[in-house]
Amino acid sequence: MSEIATIDAAPRSQAEARLRGLARAFARLIANPLAAIGLVVVLALVAMALFANVVSFHVPPNQQDLNARLLPPGAAHWFGTDDLGRDIYARVVFGARVTLSIVALVGVIVAPIGLAVGTSAGYFGGIVDVALMRVTDIFLAFPRLVLALAFAAALGPGIENAVIAIAITAWPPYARIARAETVTIAKSDYIAAVVLQGASSARILFRHIVPLCLSSVIVRLTLDMAGIILTAAGLGFLGLGAQPPTAEWGAMVAAGRDVVLDQWWVATIPGLAIFIVSLGFNLLGDGLRDVFDPRSS
């Protein structure tokens, strides 16, 4: 594992040093079988989303066939068909796109907000710190799902609004983490040196503090992905996420609800997809945490 690095020659450039660091971290991650399984699941999800057409054998997810309603899993339809005769396998495959885009969008919104709030609070301290962290604590104290529900209800159902609703309730932990890191970083000598050279606060924050907070934020984000997927699927299940006929896993479970006692596959299989993907993110997140932040494991 880490022995690979010690026998190598010294890196010739900054970029090479970084790349080698990443390679070492990756090797340590892969050495943990559970994390490797998680990584495989997440990569499979990405591949499924990218090549949904090929993976689904070019069966369109919304193609109805009312003569083939509620067929059990078999050779023609691997996962059976739903109440409109749509192929559940194709819908599960295309559902990966929806899930992945929700997760990615929430991550893209939440991480910068958390970083901005947390690093400013930690760096400026004083009244800025008190005010920002007070707001963070208030949002942290709210029940996430119920609040997301109320937001989604106010903004109207739909994927975009579900993303906004989840993001509004998901950023506070990132602000907490970023603040904790910034408080220690801000005291270090190299920051004092940059200050003496006359760097502006913005430059110090973005060039010298944010990059160092990134790894813990990314680890936390991976661990959070499972929760985000579950919340998004929950909103979809309640009818507040993706709207019909979009193939979204939570909404698909809801569609199979009424027939669950007789046609179990309609609700069960999309739910299994949610379970496997969020398990994958949990395994990967645990592994990443062990690699990047061994103290907390």
Partner 1 sequence: MRFLRQAIGLIASLLVTVLGLTAVTFSIGRFIPVDPVLAIVGDHASKSTYDRVRIEIGLDRSIPEQYVIYLKKVLSGDFGHSVMTSNPVLDDLAHFFPATLELATVATLIGVFVGVPAGVAAGALKGRWPDHIVRFLGLFGYSMPIFWLGLVGLWLFYGKLGWVSGPGRIDVGYDDLVTTRTGLLLVDSAIERNWDVFFNALSHLVLPAALLGYISLAYIARMTRSFIIEQLGQEYIVAARVKGCSFWGAVWRHAFPNVFVPLITVIGLSYASLLEGAVLTETVFAWPGLGLYITRSLFNADMNAVLGGTLVVGAVFIGINALSDFLYKIVDPRLRGA
Any contact of residue 100 with partner 1 (CB under 8 A)? no
The answer to whether 254 touches 239, Cβ cutoff 8 Å, is yes
CA dist 295 and 297 (Å) reads 6
Pick the binder of partner 1 from 59, 155, 180, 194 (CB under 8 A).
155
Any contact of residue 33 with partner 1 (CB under 8 A)? no
For residue 36, the minimal CB distance to partner 1 (Å) is 15
Chain positions 37 to 96 lying near partner 1, rule: CB under 8 A, are none
Looking at the Cβ atoms of 47 and 153, the one nearer to partner 1 is 153
Q: What's the longest Cα–Cα distance across the chain?
A: 76
Stretch that binds partner 1, among 17-25, 78-86, 187-195, 228-236 (CB under 8 A): 228-236
CA dist 239 and 254 (Å) reads 8
- Using the Cα atoms of residue 126, residue 127, residue 133 and residue 137 in order, give the sign of their dihedral: positive
The answer to whether 282 touches 289, Cβ cutoff 8 Å, is no
Any contact of residue 137 with partner 1 (CB under 8 A)? yes
Pick the binder of partner 1 from 25, 70, 104, 147 (CB under 8 A).
147
Cα dist. 59→69, 76, 267, 274 in Å? 16, 11, 20, 21
List contacts with partner 1 (CB under 8 A). Answer: 134-135, 137-139, 141-147, 149-151, 153-156, 226, 230, 233-234, 237-240, 250, 253-254, 256-257, 260-261, 264, 267-268, 271-272, 274-275, 278-279, 282-283
